[in-house]
A and B are shown apart, each in its own frame.
Chain A
Amino acid sequence: MTLNQLTAHEVVNLIKKKKITAYEVMQDIFNQIDKVDNLIKAFLVINREEALKQAKEIDVKVKNGEELPPLAGVAVAIKDIIATQGTETTCGSKILKGFIPPYNATVINRLKEAGAIIIGKTNMDEFAMGSSTENSAFGPTHNPWDLERVPGGSSGGSAAAVAANETFVALGTDTGGSVRQPASLCGMVGLKPTYGRVSRYGLIAYASSLDQAGPITKDVVDCALVMNAISGHDNMDSTSLNLEVPDYLKSCKAGIKDLKIGVPKEYFIKGIDLEVKDALNRALKMFEKLGARVEEVSLPHTEYSLPTYYLIATAEASSNLARYDGVQYGYRAEECKDLSSMYRKTRSEGFGSEVNRRIMLGTYALSSGYYDAYYLKAQKVRTLIKEDFDKAFSKYDILVTPVSPTPAFKLNEKVSDPLTMYLSDIYTIPINLAGIPAISINCGYSKSNLPIGLQIIGKHFSEETILRAAFNFEQNNDVGKRKPSIKPAKHKEAAE
Chain B
Amino acid sequence: MKEEVVIGLEIHIQLMTKAKIFCQCSTDYIGKEPNTNTCPVCLGLPGSLPVLNKKVLEFAVRTSVALNCKINQVSRFHRKNYFYPDLPKAYQISQYDTPLGINGYMEISLPERKEKRKIRITRVHIEEDAGKLVHEGDITSSSYSLADYNRCGIPLAEIVTEPDFRSPEEAQIFLVKLRSIVQHLGVCDGNMEEGSMRCDANVSLRDAKTSALGIKVEIKNVNSFKAVKKALQFEVHRQKKLLAEGEKIIQETRHWDESKNITISMRSKEEAHDYRYFPEPDLLPLRVSQEIIEEIRKKLPELPEARRKRFIKDYKIPEYDAEILTSSKALGDYYEKSASSYYNRKVLSNWIMGELIRYLNEEKIGIEDSPVSPEKLVGMLKLMDEGVISGKMAKGIFEKMCKTGKDASQIVKESGITQITDEEELFKVIDKVIKENLKSVDDFNQGKEKALNYLVGQVMRYTKGRAKPDFVFEAIKQRIKK
Binding site for B on A (CB under 8 A): 82-83, 89, 91, 96, 99, 101-103, 105, 200-205, 208-209, 235-239, 315-316, 318-319, 322-323, 325, 327-329, 339, 343, 363, 366-368, 371, 375
Closest-CB distance, A361 to chain B (whole angstroms):
13
B43 and chain A: residue at smallest CB distance: A328
Q: Which of B166-174, B280-288, B307-315 is found at the contact surface with chain A?
A: B280-288
Contacts A103-B40, A325-B90 given; does A202 touch B47 at CB 8 Å: yes
B274 and A201 within 8 A (CB)? no
What 4 A-B pairs come out closest when comparing CB atoms? A322-B90, A366-B276, A208-B281, A209-B281
Bound complex: CA of A205 vs CA of B79, how far in Å?
15
Closest-CB distance, B80 to chain A (whole angstroms):
10
A237 and B49 within 8 A (CB)? yes
Closest-CB distance, B129 to chain A (whole angstroms):
17
A102 and B90 within 8 A (CB)? no
Bound complex: CA of A32 vs CA of B81, how far in Å?
46
A363 and B276 within 8 A (CB)? yes
Note all chain A residues with C-beta closer than 8 A to B276.
Answer: 318-319, 363, 366-368, 371
B282 and A238 within 8 A (CB)? yes
A235 and chain B: residue at smallest CB distance: B51
Majority SS at the chain B contact face: loop
B91 within 8 A of A: yes
A322 and B49 within 8 A (CB)? no
B147 within 8 A of A: yes
B471 within 8 A of A: no
Note all chain A residues with C-beta closer than 8 A to B283.
Answer: 238-239
B447 within 8 A of A: no
Bound complex: CA of A103 vs CA of B47, how far in Å?
10
Binding site for A on B (CB under 8 A): 40, 43-52, 79, 81, 83, 85, 88-91, 147, 274, 276-278, 281-284
B88 and A204 within 8 A (CB)? no
Closest-CB distance, B259 to chain A (whole angstroms):
24
Note all chain B residues with C-beta closer than 8 A to A208.
Answer: 281-282
Note all chain B residues with C-beta closer than 8 A to A316.
Answer: 278, 281
Can you offer 17 A-B residue contacts whose CB atoms are under 8 A?
Answer: A89-B47, A91-B46, A103-B48, A105-B47, A201-B47, A208-B281, A236-B51, A237-B49, A238-B50, A238-B283, A239-B282, A315-B278, A316-B281, A327-B85, A327-B147, A328-B43, A367-B276
A364 and chain B: residue at smallest CB distance: B276
Note all chain B residues with C-beta closer than 8 A to A238.
Answer: 49-52, 282-284
Note all chain B residues with C-beta closer than 8 A to A91.
Answer: 46
Closest-CB distance, A90 to chain B (whole angstroms):
10
Note all chain A residues with C-beta closer than 8 A to B284.
Answer: 238-239
| Sample of 17 more A-B contacts, CB < 8 Å, known A238-B50, A315-B278 | A83-B47, A102-B40, A103-B40, A201-B48, A205-B47, A235-B51, A239-B282, A239-B283, A316-B278, A319-B276, A322-B91, A325-B90, A327-B88, A328-B147, A363-B276, A366-B81, A375-B278
Bound complex: CA of A201 vs CA of B88, how far in Å?
17
Bound complex: CA of A204 vs CA of B278, how far in Å?
19
Closest-CB distance, A378 to chain B (whole angstroms):
11
Note all chain B residues with C-beta closer than 8 A to A366.
Answer: 81, 276-278
Contacts A328-B43, A368-B274, A375-B278 given; does A319 touch B49 at CB 8 Å: no
Bound complex: CA of A322 vs CA of B85, how far in Å?
11
B80 and chain A: residue at smallest CB distance: A319
A91 and chain B: residue at smallest CB distance: B46
Note all chain A residues with C-beta closer than 8 A to B45.
Answer: 83, 101-103, 328-329
A330 and chain B: residue at smallest CB distance: B46
B52 and A319 within 8 A (CB)? no
Closest-CB distance, A34 to chain B (whole angstroms):
30
A101 and B47 within 8 A (CB)? yes
Majority SS at the chain A contact face: loop
A101 and B282 within 8 A (CB)? no
Bound complex: CA of A201 vs CA of B48, how far in Å?
6
B47 and A343 within 8 A (CB)? no
B47 and A323 within 8 A (CB)? no
Closest-CB distance, A103 to chain B (whole angstroms):
5
Closest-CB distance, B452 to chain A (whole angstroms):
77
Closest-CB distance, B155 to chain A (whole angstroms):
16
Bound complex: CA of A236 vs CA of B90, how far in Å?
21
B85 and A323 within 8 A (CB)? no
Note all chain B residues with C-beta closer than 8 A to A89.
Answer: 46-47
**One of B52, B89, B278 near A322 (C-beta < 8 A):** B89
Note all chain B residues with C-beta closer than 8 A to A99.
Answer: 46
B22 and chain A: residue at smallest CB distance: A238
Note all chain B residues with C-beta closer than 8 A to A204.
Answer: 46-47
B23 and chain A: residue at smallest CB distance: A236
Closest-CB distance, B96 to chain A (whole angstroms):
11
B46 and A101 within 8 A (CB)? yes
Closest-CB distance, A109 to chain B (whole angstroms):
13
A319 and B274 within 8 A (CB)? no
B273 and chain A: residue at smallest CB distance: A368
Closest-CB distance, B396 to chain A (whole angstroms):
58
A81 and chain B: residue at smallest CB distance: B47
A323 and B79 within 8 A (CB)? no
Contacts A238-B282, A238-B283, A316-B281 given; does A339 touch B46 at CB 8 Å: no
B49 and A201 within 8 A (CB)? yes
Note all chain B residues with C-beta closer than 8 A to A343.
Answer: 83
Bound complex: CA of A244 vs CA of B72, how far in Å?
31
A319 and B79 within 8 A (CB)? yes
Closest-CB distance, B140 to chain A (whole angstroms):
12
B47 and A319 within 8 A (CB)? no
**One of A83, A235, A236, A325 near B46 (C-beta < 8 A):** A83
Contacts A102-B40, A239-B284 given; does A322 touch B47 at CB 8 Å: no
Residue in B45, B52, B81, B147 with the greatest tally of chain A CB atoms within 10 Å: B45
Note all chain A residues with C-beta closer than 8 A to B48.
Answer: 103, 201-202
A82 and chain B: residue at smallest CB distance: B47
Bound complex: CA of A85 vs CA of B341, how far in Å?
61
A342 and chain B: residue at smallest CB distance: B85
Bound complex: CA of A6 vs CA of B49, how far in Å?
37
Note all chain B residues with C-beta closer than 8 A to A329.
Answer: 45
Bound complex: CA of A238 vs CA of B52, how far in Å?
8
Bound complex: CA of A323 vs CA of B89, how far in Å?
5
Closest-CB distance, A217 to chain B (whole angstroms):
23
Bound complex: CA of A46 vs CA of B2, how far in Å?
76
Note all chain A residues with C-beta closer than 8 A to B281.
Answer: 208-209, 239, 316
Closest-CB distance, B146 to chain A (whole angstroms):
11
Bound complex: CA of A103 vs CA of B46, how far in Å?
10
B45 and chain A: residue at smallest CB distance: A101
A202 and chain B: residue at smallest CB distance: B47
Bound complex: CA of A91 vs CA of B45, how far in Å?
13
Bound complex: CA of A89 vs CA of B43, how far in Å?
17
Bound complex: CA of A367 vs CA of B81, how far in Å?
11
B282 and A323 within 8 A (CB)? no
Note all chain B residues with C-beta closer than 8 A to A205.
Answer: 46-47, 282
Contacts A208-B281, A322-B91 given; does A367 touch B274 at CB 8 Å: yes
A103 and chain B: residue at smallest CB distance: B40
Note all chain A residues with C-beta closer than 8 A to B52.
Answer: 238
Note all chain A residues with C-beta closer than 8 A to B91.
Answer: 319, 322
Contacts A101-B45, A322-B81, A323-B44 given; does A328 touch B88 at CB 8 Å: yes
B90 and A323 within 8 A (CB)? yes
Closest-CB distance, A107 to chain B (whole angstroms):
11
Residue in A82, A204, A327 with the greatest tally of chain B CB atoms within 10 Å: A327
Contacts A319-B278, A322-B91, A325-B90 given; does A203 touch B83 at CB 8 Å: no
Bound complex: CA of A66 vs CA of B303, how far in Å?
63
Residue in A82, A96, A102, A236 with the greatest tally of chain B CB atoms within 10 Å: A236
Note all chain B residues with C-beta closer than 8 A to A363.
Answer: 276
Bound complex: CA of A353 vs CA of B90, how far in Å?
21
Note all chain A residues with C-beta closer than 8 A to B85.
Answer: 325, 327, 339
Note all chain A residues with C-beta closer than 8 A to B44.
Answer: 323, 328
Residue in B83, B147, B276, B277 with the greatest tally of chain A CB atoms within 10 Å: B276
Residue in A237, A315, A323, A325 with the greatest tally of chain B CB atoms within 10 Å: A323
Bound complex: CA of A168 vs CA of B324, how far in Å?
74
Closest-CB distance, B15 to chain A (whole angstroms):
19
